Amino acid sequence: MATSNYINKVAIVGAGGNSGKFMTEALLKTGKHTVTAITRADSKSKLPEGVISKVVDYEKRESVVEALKGQDALVITLGAFALSNEVKLIEAADQAGVPWILPNEWSSYPGAHEFIKDMFYYPMKSASREALGKLKTSSYIGVSTGFWYEWSLPMPPAFGFDITNRSVMFFDEGEVKASVSTWPQIGRAVAALLSLPVQAEEGKGDGFLENLKNKDVYINSFTISQKDMLESLLRVTDTKPEDWTITKESAQGRLAEGLKEMQEGKHSGFAKKLYTRVFFPDGFGDFERNKGTLNGVLGLPKEDLDEATKVAVERAGLPRWTAE
């Protein structure tokens, strides 16, 4: 248990991963946290300097419980194909007496959302939420971030952009806005969240963990449309609209196509289904407007869209789906 009104010891699963490394570096940068990476024996991830490493065997709960004892918080970052381990981590954290858990949210779909019920990982998300609902000693805060901007923009099945070949497929007219986050912003958000006091402190308003207990919260970098993304790409690549091939298809049709491709076992279908839904005209993907964000409470900065787009352009040449 935490010995003060602040979190000091943070365990993180996926400390060397795409988003996890930014969380880890941001936590270390505060100078307020000791960070322990929970890893598998066969992990090849390179951990940021200053991180303590503890190797666990997910098939042996006592191994995970022992690694989590004495931690004030557990941050879980897992890829979609590793989500079967999340329940094990949640249950072990609860048994170890870890006060706070940040589960594997980090997306546009908090919890076991109905819009992903036909995705292969939905049963695992349902099981995780069920486990969170049974917590006895721990509490959770689910942090939804929208899609990762610099990861998603270079993938044609995602936001519809083929940067290398300068083409874009607009869903409908490309004008529906969705909330997205950069990796550095996600890292800052986690560090700021886990730097909040646990209990309310005089003069500090609503920014304390108990106020967020067992809730889903939202953070973002930008709320933008495909047209906004294209305008940023034009500036970053010093190109003009006529340099790009611009086509359109209905969002409904693209989602149906994604479902068909999923049934055929194609990764492209997974992305089309997942991403297209946030650009539907009902505004589901615009959680900045519909839900509100925690950006102000956490003191998150306003970012430069073009700087984030530059990172995405640099990533465009990396292998898709496995880019690190």
Encode pLDDT of 51-91 as tens digits: 999 999 999 999 999 999 999 999 999 987 678 899 999 99
Average pLDDT over residues 3-16: 93
Do the Cβ atoms of 71 and 98 come closer than 8 Å? yes
**Mean residue pLDDT across the chain:** 93
In a domain, 161, yes or no: yes
Same domain (yes/no): 128, 257: no
Q: Is the pLDDT score of 152 beyond 80?
A: yes
| 309 vs 238: CA distance, rounded Å | 12
Q: Percentage of residues in the chain with pLDDT exceeding 90? A: 81
- Same domain for 271 and 122: no
Instruction: Note the pLDDT tens digit of each residue in 160-204.
Output: 999 999 999 999 999 999 999 999 999 999 999 999 999 999 887
Average pLDDT for 92-119: 92
What confidence tier does 318 reach under pLDDT thresholds 50, 70, 90? Answer: low
Q: How confident is the model at residue 113, as a pLDDT? A: 86
C-alpha dist (Å) from residue 166 to 75, 159, 299: 38, 13, 36
The two structure tokens encoding residue 115: 């819009």
Please indicate, yes or no, whether residues 129 and 242 belong to a single structural domain of this protein. no
* 103 within some domain: yes
Phi/psi of residue 227, nearest 5 degrees? -65, -35
Which of these, 197, 208, 203, lies nearest to 2 by C-alpha position? 197
| Same domain assignment for residues 93 and 58 | yes
Residue 2 domain-assigned (yes or no)? no
**Integer Cα distance of 31 and 53 in angstroms:** 18
Pair type for strands 73-76 and 100-102? parallel
Q: Among all chains, which residue has been given the structure tokens 């969002």?
A: 251
96 dihedral zone (left: phi>0; alpha: psi -120 to 50; beta): alpha
HSE-up (13 A, CA, CB side) for residue 262:
18
Is 268 a domain residue? yes
Asked if residue 293 is part of any domain, the answer here is no
User: Six-digit token pair at 141?
Assistant: 């805060």
Which residue has better confidence, 266 or 246? 246
Residue at a domain's end among 194, 218, 242:
218
Evaluate if residue 15 carries a pLDDT over 80: yes
Position 110 in a domain: yes
The number of distinct structural domains making up the chain is 2
Does the structure show a pLDDT above 70 at 3? no
**In a shared domain, residues 92 and 118:** yes
In a 3-state reduction of DSSP, which class is residue 210?
helix
Residue 79 has what pLDDT?
81
CA atoms 13, 19, 25, 28: torsion sign: negative
- Are 105 and 203 part of one and the same domain? yes
Same domain assignment for residues 226 and 139: no
Q: Of 193, 218, 243, which marks where a domain is finished?
A: 218
CATH code where residue 17 lies? 3.40.50.720
CATH number at residue 238: 3.90.25.10
* pLDDT given for residue 1 in this prediction: 45
Residue at token pair 């060397």: 16
Integer Rg of the chain from CA:
20
Q: Which of 3-12, 107-116, 302-311 has the highest mean pLDDT?
A: 302-311
Same-domain check for residues 20 and 154: no
Residue numbers of the domain that contains 306: 148-181+222-287+301-317
Residue pair 190/179 in contact by the 8 Å Cβ criterion: no
Q: Are residues 57 and 201 in the same domain?
A: yes
Q: Give me the pLDDT at residue 205, please.
A: 85
- 230 to each of 161, 238, 245, 313, how far by Cα in Å? 8, 12, 11, 12
Q: How many Cβ atoms from other residues are within 10 Å of residue 133's Cβ? A: 9
What is the C-alpha to C-alpha distance for residues 131 and 11, in angstroms, rounded to an integer?
19
pLDDT of residue 324: 32
CB 70 within 8 A of CB 110: no
Yes or no: say if 95 and 61 are a contact pair by the CB < 8 Å rule: yes
120 phi and psi angles, rounded to 5 deg? -65, -25
Report which DSSP code applies to 172: T
Do 103 and 192 reside in the same domain of the chain?
yes
Kindly state whether residue 323 falls inside one of the protein's structural domains.
no
Same domain, 67 and 161: no
Task: Encode pLDDT of 255-276 as tens digits.
Answer: 999 999 988 988 889 899 999 9
- Given a contact cutoff of 8 angstroms between Cβ atoms, the answer to whether 227 and 238 are in contact is no
The whole-angstrom separation of Cα 23 and Cα 138 is 21
CA-closest candidate to residue 303, choices 207, 183, 124: 183
Q: Are residues 104 and 158 in the same domain?
A: no
Residue 1 maps to a domain: no
Does residue 181 contact residue 107 with C-beta atoms inside 8 Å? Answer: no
Amino acid at 126: S
Residue 120 pLDDT grade (very low, low, confident, very high; cuts 50, 70, 90):
confident
